Structure 1
Amino acid sequence: MTEQRMYAVLHCEPCDECAHDDRQFIEDGQLSWESSYVCTRYDVRWSGRGRGVPPLPVRERIVEREGTVHLPVGGFGGVPIALLRQVYGLTVAEVVAARKAGYRATPVEARYLSGPTP
Protein backbone atom coordinates (compact mmCIF):
# COMPACT_ATOMS: atom_id res chain seq x y z
CA MET A 1 0.00 0.00 0.00
CA THR A 2 1.33 3.43 -0.91
CA GLU A 3 1.27 6.36 1.48
CA GLN A 4 1.86 9.85 0.14
CA ARG A 5 1.92 13.22 1.84
CA MET A 6 1.66 16.50 -0.04
CA TYR A 7 2.91 19.60 1.77
CA ALA A 8 2.19 22.20 -0.91
CA VAL A 9 0.28 22.31 -4.15
CA LEU A 10 1.85 24.85 -6.48
CA HIS A 11 2.85 24.76 -10.13
CA CYS A 12 6.59 24.26 -10.49
CA GLU A 13 8.55 23.99 -13.70
CA PRO A 14 11.72 21.90 -13.27
CA CYS A 15 14.64 24.24 -12.62
CA ASP A 16 18.20 24.12 -11.28
CA GLU A 17 16.92 24.42 -7.71
CA CYS A 18 14.68 21.32 -7.93
CA ALA A 19 16.04 18.36 -5.97
CA HIS A 20 14.78 14.78 -5.75
CA ASP A 21 15.85 12.37 -3.04
CA ASP A 22 14.74 8.83 -3.82
CA ARG A 23 15.70 5.60 -2.12
CA GLN A 24 14.72 1.98 -1.76
CA PHE A 25 15.29 -0.22 1.26
CA ILE A 26 14.12 -3.40 2.92
CA GLU A 27 12.12 -2.75 6.08
CA ASP A 28 10.53 -5.47 8.21
CA GLY A 29 11.23 -7.95 5.43
CA GLN A 30 9.37 -5.90 2.82
CA LEU A 31 10.60 -3.91 -0.14
CA SER A 32 10.00 -0.22 0.61
CA TRP A 33 10.71 3.20 -0.90
CA GLU A 34 10.80 6.90 -0.01
CA SER A 35 10.85 9.92 -2.26
CA SER A 36 10.99 13.62 -1.62
CA TYR A 37 11.02 16.63 -3.89
CA VAL A 38 12.01 20.17 -2.97
CA CYS A 39 12.11 23.30 -5.10
CA THR A 40 13.41 26.29 -3.15
CA ARG A 41 12.65 28.71 -6.00
CA TYR A 42 8.90 28.04 -5.88
CA ASP A 43 8.73 26.77 -2.27
CA VAL A 44 7.33 23.38 -3.28
CA ARG A 45 7.79 20.31 -1.11
CA TRP A 46 6.51 16.78 -1.65
CA SER A 47 7.25 13.45 -0.01
CA GLY A 48 5.99 9.94 -0.52
CA ARG A 49 6.63 6.58 1.07
CA GLY A 50 5.34 3.13 0.33
CA ARG A 51 5.81 -0.62 0.25
CA GLY A 52 6.69 -2.63 -2.82
CA VAL A 53 8.15 -1.37 -6.06
CA PRO A 54 8.24 2.44 -6.22
CA PRO A 55 6.22 4.40 -8.78
CA LEU A 56 7.87 4.41 -12.20
CA PRO A 57 9.35 7.97 -12.06
CA VAL A 58 10.92 7.23 -8.66
CA ARG A 59 12.27 3.86 -9.83
CA GLU A 60 13.69 5.45 -12.99
CA ARG A 61 15.66 7.98 -10.92
CA ILE A 62 16.98 5.17 -8.69
CA VAL A 63 18.02 3.15 -11.76
CA GLU A 64 19.70 6.23 -13.26
CA ARG A 65 21.69 6.78 -10.07
CA GLU A 66 22.44 3.17 -9.00
CA GLY A 67 22.11 1.12 -12.17
CA THR A 68 20.60 -2.36 -12.38
CA VAL A 69 21.54 -5.93 -11.57
CA HIS A 70 20.80 -8.73 -14.04
CA LEU A 71 18.95 -11.60 -12.35
CA PRO A 72 18.29 -15.02 -13.83
CA VAL A 73 14.63 -16.03 -13.56
CA GLY A 74 13.39 -19.51 -12.69
CA GLY A 75 15.42 -22.69 -12.58
CA PHE A 76 18.27 -23.46 -10.20
CA GLY A 77 19.69 -20.26 -8.70
CA GLY A 78 17.16 -18.00 -10.41
CA VAL A 79 14.50 -15.77 -8.91
CA PRO A 80 11.32 -17.81 -8.40
CA ILE A 81 8.76 -16.92 -11.07
CA ALA A 82 5.95 -16.63 -8.50
CA LEU A 83 7.98 -14.12 -6.47
CA LEU A 84 8.76 -12.05 -9.55
CA ARG A 85 5.07 -11.94 -10.48
CA GLN A 86 4.08 -11.05 -6.92
CA VAL A 87 6.58 -8.21 -6.56
CA TYR A 88 6.25 -6.64 -10.02
CA GLY A 89 2.79 -7.76 -11.10
CA LEU A 90 4.15 -9.09 -14.38
CA THR A 91 1.90 -10.57 -17.03
CA VAL A 92 2.48 -14.12 -18.27
CA ALA A 93 4.11 -12.73 -21.45
CA GLU A 94 6.46 -10.55 -19.37
CA VAL A 95 7.40 -13.56 -17.22
CA VAL A 96 8.15 -15.62 -20.34
CA ALA A 97 10.41 -12.83 -21.62
CA ALA A 98 12.12 -12.52 -18.21
CA ARG A 99 12.61 -16.30 -18.10
CA LYS A 100 14.49 -16.12 -21.41
CA ALA A 101 16.50 -12.92 -20.90
CA GLY A 102 16.58 -12.46 -17.11
CA TYR A 103 15.29 -9.43 -15.23
CA ARG A 104 16.93 -6.05 -14.54
CA ALA A 105 16.38 -5.07 -10.92
CA THR A 106 17.71 -2.23 -8.79
CA PRO A 107 20.42 -3.33 -6.32
CA VAL A 108 17.93 -3.26 -3.41
CA GLU A 109 15.34 -5.21 -5.40
CA ALA A 110 18.04 -7.75 -6.30
CA ARG A 111 18.89 -8.25 -2.60
CA TYR A 112 15.18 -8.60 -1.78
CA LEU A 113 14.53 -11.10 -4.58
CA SER A 114 17.69 -13.11 -3.95
CA GLY A 115 16.79 -14.30 -0.48
CA PRO A 116 16.09 -13.47 3.14
CA THR A 117 17.68 -10.39 4.66
CA PRO A 118 19.54 -10.58 7.98
Structure 2
Amino acid sequence: MAEQQMYLTSHCEPCEDCVQEEWQSIRDGELFWEGYEHCPRYEVYACDDGRGVPPPWIRERIVAREGTVHLPVGGPDGVPVALLRRVYGLSIAEVAAARRTGYRATPVEARYLSLPTP
Protein backbone atom coordinates (compact mmCIF):
# COMPACT_ATOMS: atom_id res chain seq x y z
CA MET A 1 0.00 0.00 0.00
CA ALA A 2 1.23 3.51 -0.73
CA GLU A 3 2.64 5.72 1.97
CA GLN A 4 2.29 9.44 1.42
CA GLN A 5 3.81 12.52 3.00
CA MET A 6 2.63 16.07 2.33
CA TYR A 7 5.09 18.94 2.79
CA LEU A 8 2.75 21.83 2.01
CA THR A 9 -0.95 21.86 1.34
CA SER A 10 -1.80 25.45 0.34
CA HIS A 11 -1.86 26.29 -3.34
CA CYS A 12 -3.38 28.96 -5.54
CA GLU A 13 -5.91 28.16 -8.22
CA PRO A 14 -3.93 26.80 -11.20
CA CYS A 15 -3.00 29.52 -13.68
CA GLU A 16 -0.95 29.63 -16.89
CA ASP A 17 2.23 30.26 -14.85
CA CYS A 18 1.84 27.16 -12.66
CA VAL A 19 4.34 24.35 -13.13
CA GLN A 20 3.46 20.77 -12.19
CA GLU A 21 5.89 17.88 -12.32
CA GLU A 22 5.34 14.28 -11.28
CA TRP A 23 7.65 11.31 -11.51
CA GLN A 24 8.29 7.83 -10.24
CA SER A 25 11.52 6.09 -9.33
CA ILE A 26 12.88 2.87 -7.93
CA ARG A 27 15.20 3.28 -4.96
CA ASP A 28 16.67 0.41 -2.97
CA GLY A 29 14.23 -1.99 -4.59
CA GLU A 30 11.17 0.11 -3.63
CA LEU A 31 8.77 2.07 -5.82
CA PHE A 32 8.57 5.82 -5.00
CA TRP A 33 6.72 8.80 -6.48
CA GLU A 34 7.05 12.56 -6.18
CA GLY A 35 4.94 15.53 -7.16
CA TYR A 36 5.99 19.16 -7.32
CA GLU A 37 3.91 22.27 -7.97
CA HIS A 38 5.18 25.82 -8.24
CA CYS A 39 3.38 29.05 -9.01
CA PRO A 40 5.87 31.86 -9.65
CA ARG A 41 3.04 34.39 -9.82
CA TYR A 42 2.04 33.82 -6.19
CA GLU A 43 5.33 32.29 -4.98
CA VAL A 44 3.62 29.09 -3.87
CA TYR A 45 5.46 25.77 -3.68
CA ALA A 46 3.96 22.37 -2.91
CA CYS A 47 5.82 19.07 -2.71
CA ASP A 48 4.29 15.67 -2.17
CA ASP A 49 5.91 12.24 -2.19
CA GLY A 50 5.42 8.71 -1.07
CA ARG A 51 6.29 5.06 -1.39
CA GLY A 52 4.35 2.67 -3.59
CA VAL A 53 1.91 3.49 -6.36
CA PRO A 54 1.11 7.23 -6.58
CA PRO A 55 -2.36 8.61 -5.87
CA PRO A 56 -4.67 8.46 -8.89
CA TRP A 57 -4.34 12.15 -9.86
CA ILE A 58 -0.52 11.90 -9.90
CA ARG A 59 -0.54 8.57 -11.76
CA GLU A 60 -2.97 9.96 -14.36
CA ARG A 61 -0.55 12.81 -15.15
CA ILE A 62 2.38 10.38 -15.43
CA VAL A 63 0.37 8.11 -17.74
CA ALA A 64 -0.69 11.11 -19.87
CA ARG A 65 2.95 12.16 -20.27
CA GLU A 66 4.74 8.78 -20.49
CA GLY A 67 2.07 6.32 -21.58
CA THR A 68 1.76 2.76 -20.32
CA VAL A 69 3.41 -0.60 -20.82
CA HIS A 70 1.18 -3.65 -21.36
CA LEU A 71 2.26 -6.47 -19.05
CA PRO A 72 1.05 -10.07 -19.14
CA VAL A 73 -0.16 -11.33 -15.76
CA GLY A 74 0.48 -14.81 -14.39
CA GLY A 75 2.10 -17.73 -16.12
CA PRO A 76 5.81 -18.25 -16.73
CA ASP A 77 6.34 -14.95 -18.58
CA GLY A 78 3.88 -12.72 -16.71
CA VAL A 79 3.92 -10.60 -13.60
CA PRO A 80 3.23 -12.79 -10.56
CA VAL A 81 -0.37 -12.39 -9.37
CA ALA A 82 0.72 -12.02 -5.72
CA LEU A 83 3.09 -9.17 -6.64
CA LEU A 84 0.39 -7.38 -8.63
CA ARG A 85 -2.05 -7.68 -5.73
CA ARG A 86 0.56 -6.46 -3.21
CA VAL A 87 1.68 -3.44 -5.25
CA TYR A 88 -1.72 -2.24 -6.49
CA GLY A 89 -4.08 -3.69 -3.88
CA LEU A 90 -6.23 -5.26 -6.59
CA SER A 91 -9.35 -7.24 -5.78
CA ILE A 92 -9.75 -10.84 -6.91
CA ALA A 93 -12.06 -9.68 -9.73
CA GLU A 94 -9.48 -7.09 -10.89
CA VAL A 95 -6.74 -9.73 -10.85
CA ALA A 96 -8.93 -12.12 -12.85
CA ALA A 97 -9.50 -9.38 -15.44
CA ALA A 98 -5.76 -8.61 -15.54
CA ARG A 99 -4.99 -12.30 -16.14
CA ARG A 100 -7.25 -12.22 -19.19
CA THR A 101 -6.25 -8.87 -20.67
CA GLY A 102 -2.91 -7.96 -19.05
CA TYR A 103 -2.14 -4.91 -16.93
CA ARG A 104 -1.22 -1.37 -17.99
CA ALA A 105 1.64 -0.03 -15.87
CA THR A 106 3.68 3.14 -16.15
CA PRO A 107 7.20 2.56 -17.54
CA VAL A 108 8.74 2.80 -14.04
CA GLU A 109 6.12 0.47 -12.57
CA ALA A 110 6.82 -1.99 -15.40
CA ARG A 111 10.54 -1.96 -14.54
CA TYR A 112 9.71 -2.41 -10.85
CA LEU A 113 7.36 -5.33 -11.53
CA SER A 114 10.02 -6.94 -13.73
CA LEU A 115 12.75 -6.83 -11.07
CA PRO A 116 13.82 -10.24 -9.81
CA THR A 117 12.19 -11.04 -6.49
CA PRO A 118 14.52 -12.11 -3.70
Please give the alpha-carbon distance, in whole angstroms, between the structure 2 residues aligned to 1:113 and 1:82: 11
Give 2:33's aligned residue.
Answer: 33
1:5 to 4, 7, 11: 7
Shift of 1:4: 1.6
Instruction: Figure out how many residues of one structure are paired with residues of the other and give that number.
Output: 115
Q: What is the match of residue 72 of structure 2?
A: 72
In structure 1, distance between residues paired with 2:39 and 2:91: 37
Letter in 2 for 1:35: G
Q: CA shift at 1:83, angstroms? A: 0.2
TM-score, with structure 1 as normaliser: 0.92
Map 1:80-99 onto structure 2 (within 5 A).
Answer: 80-99=80-99
Instruction: Output the CA distance in 1 between the equivalents of 2:19 and 2:30.
Output: 27
Gapped regions of structure 2 (runs ≥ 5): none
The sequence identity of aligned pairs, in percent, is: 61
Pairwise CA distance, 1:3: 1.6
Structure 1 residue ranges, 4+ long, deviating more than 2 angstroms after superposition: none
> Distance in 1 between the 2:116 and 2:39 partners?
38
SS in structure 1 at match of 2:100: helix
The AA in structure 2 aligned to 1:9 is S
Cα deviation for residue 116 of structure 1 reads 3.3
Cα separation, 1, equivalents of 2:13 and 2:51: 28
In the alignment, structure 1 segments of 5+ residues that lack a partner are none
Q: Pairwise CA RMSD of aligned residues?
A: 1.4
Deviation at 1:45, TM superposition (A): 1.1
What do residues 37-76 of structure 1 show as CA deviations (whole Å, max 9, x unaligned)? 0111222210011100011111111111110000000011
Matched letter for residue 87 of structure 1: V
Give the corresponding residue for 1:45.
Answer: 45
Superposition deviation, residue 80 in structure 1: 0.3
